[in-house]
Amino acid sequence: MKSFRKVPIPTWVLLILVNGSVLCAGFFLFLMTSLNALKSAAIEQTEINLRSFAYSIDNLLPSPPADPDAFVKNLGHSNPLYRITLIRPDGTIIADSSANISTMQNHSDRKEVQQALSGREGKSMHISSTDGRRMMYLAIPAEYNHEKIVLRLSMPVEETVIFSKRTKNSLTLTMALIFFAVLLSSLIISFKIINPINMLQKASDQYKNGNFDYHVMIQSPKEMAALGKSFTSMADTISQNIESMKKLENVRKDFVANVSHEFKTPVTSIKGFSETLLDGAIDDTENARHFLNIINTQCDRLMGIIEDLLTLSRLENDNTAPDTTNTDIVELLRNLCDNMSKTAAKNKTKIEFNSERMVLFAKINPGLISQAVSNLIENSIKYCPEHSIISLDVGEVLSDSGKKSVRIIEQDNGPGIPPQYRERIFERFYRVDKGRSRETGGTGLGLSIVRHIVSLHAGSVVETGRTDGKTGVRFVMDIPLTT
């Protein structure tokens, strides 16, 4: 069997067909109803005309004319639309306005004549055999020369006027106008709707090929313009999502590379020294102790990295608001400074605690906030030379949005951080001075943990550098009083 490929019908053709059929069907229905109404009106009017003329003639008959046939022919002459016939009860013709009575057949079998003979008004309608016109016949009982007769009138029903040439012309014109209106409206609709649909189709093709910068510009109709805008904003969102997924993927790759790198140094060192020990150095007690100390330090370093990574991963997995309790933050941080003073003293460093308030309650997770602040103080102890002073100031501030926050300022008089690194130090594994960080057992993760904890409390932390002209760091941490 031969199979034919389906050729898609253009939408504008479909619109013309559908619109055209609906409009034509509507017009046809309207026409038929109107024609029927006109037909009934024409029949009714013809009947009225026949009746009134019949009774007028009937009034003339009592004074009988000498020649009835001449009388009706005369009447017919002055009223050419009517045919007047006088019929005897036996059906023979007395007079007729338009025919020779000697040639006329007996009319006793005519329905209207029979009805009139029985004393009623008789009526009938049929198509004339001579000219094919629809004729209406009306017969009434009458009296002529003291004899009962039938007076019959007939005339064409004027319905033909409905189908006159003029009517036909105006109908054709109306149909042509409807056709052009349908054509025009279909083309306009197809341009107004199909065109935007084509534009959307083009846009979705572009998005399919990964070009999310493509923007759909539809002006009208309103609904299509809104759809176009949604398309564009959807593409923007997808593009942003792809962008952030790429960034995330890069962060993940960097992270894996960084972690491997951080692990490699201590592991290499442990392996090297343990091999040296196995190769015989173990017998040299002095050296063996030294090598074992190095191995121990490298293990501590590995442990430190693992602990910080676990802390970060816990904070990231728990990305929701942490469990908080109403805590006196002044007391919490004063105790923390006291505890850390012992470690600082080993480095001949002093920690000063200042608070403008005796107590200051905030809804925080005390364990996490302690960890964040102790990370800052530990860094200061690590990076500051001996005899340095670390200060921690606690107070309350009003943010731009009018919300109250606890402000914790941590300062030292160490080397400080060059302005260009003030944001980068919060990235994982980012170190300004790599040698110094490793030397002091830094993991490069401390400040990432600080920022994570603060953002879990809906707060912020930045390094601003000291504002009094001295060198050293100045970390400003704001935590909303109620989160």
List binders of ligand ADP among 412-451 (CB under 6 A): 412, 414-415, 417, 425, 430-433, 437, 442-448
CB 213 within 8 A of CB 243: no
CB of 193 to ligand ADP, least distance (A): 60
Contacts (Cβ under 8 Å, ≥6 apart) of 437: 382, 431, 444
b/e sequence 451-468, b meaning 16+ C-beta within 10 Å? bbbbebbebebebeeeee
How far is the C-alpha of 86 from the C-alpha of 103, rounded, in Å?
Answer: 15
What's the token pair of residue 309?
A: 């990574």
From 139-147, 192-200, 331-339, 378-386, give the range in contact with ligand ADP by CB under 6 A: 378-386
CB-nearer residue toward ligand ADP: 122 or 446: 446
Residues 222-261 that bind ligand ADP (CB under 6 A): none
Nearer to ligand ADP, 378 or 396 (CB): 378
Min dist CB 452 to ligand ADP, Å, is 11
- Out of 142, 150, 473, 479, point to the residue binding ligand ADP (CB under 6 A): 473
Please count the residues of this chain forming the interface with ligand ADP, following the rule CB under 6 A: 21
Q: What angle do CA 417, 418, 419 make, to 5 degrees?
A: 110
Best CA proximity match to 359, nearest among 337, 333, 377: 333
Site for ligand ADP in 197-226 (CB under 6 A): none
With 0-12 CB in 10 A as exposed, 13-18 as middle and 19+ as buried, what is 10? exposed
First to last CA, the chain: 76
Measured from the CB of residue 310, what is the shortest distance to ligand ADP in angstroms? 15
Tokens of 149: 């007769």
- Give kind and range of the element (H or E) at residue 94: strand 93-96
Find the shortest distance in angstroms from Cβ 463 to ligand ADP.
Answer: 8
- What span, in angstroms and rounded, lies between the C-alpha atoms of 154 and 135? 7
Out of 370, 379, 388, 411, name the contact with ligand ADP by CB under 6 A.
379
Distance CA 417, CA 7 (A): 73
Question: Pick from 82, 207, 291, 383: which binds ligand ADP (CB under 6 A)?
Answer: 383
Decide: is 372 part of the binding site for ligand ADP (CB under 6 A). no
**Residue 55 corresponds to which tokens in the numbers above?**
């009774």
Nearer to ligand ADP, 196 or 444 (CB): 444
Smallest separation, CB 396 to ligand ADP (Å): 25
Name residue 335's amino acid.
N
The answer to whether 481 and 399 are in contact (CB under 8 A) is no
Site string for ligand ADP, 96-125 (x = CB under 6 A): ------------------------------
The pair phi, psi for residue 481, each rounded to 5°, is -65, -40
Question: Which CB atom, from 140 or from 473, has the smaller least distance to ligand ADP?
Answer: 473
Question: Which amino acid is located at 276 in the chain?
Answer: T
CB of 227 to ligand ADP, least distance (A): 49
In the complex with ligand ADP, which residue's Cβ is closer, 332 or 384? 384
Smallest gap from Cβ 437 to ligand ADP, in A, equals: 3
Cα separation, 332 vs 345, whole angstroms? 20
Applying CB under 6 A, the residues found at the interface with ligand ADP are 379-380, 383, 412, 414-415, 417, 425, 430-433, 437, 442-448, 473
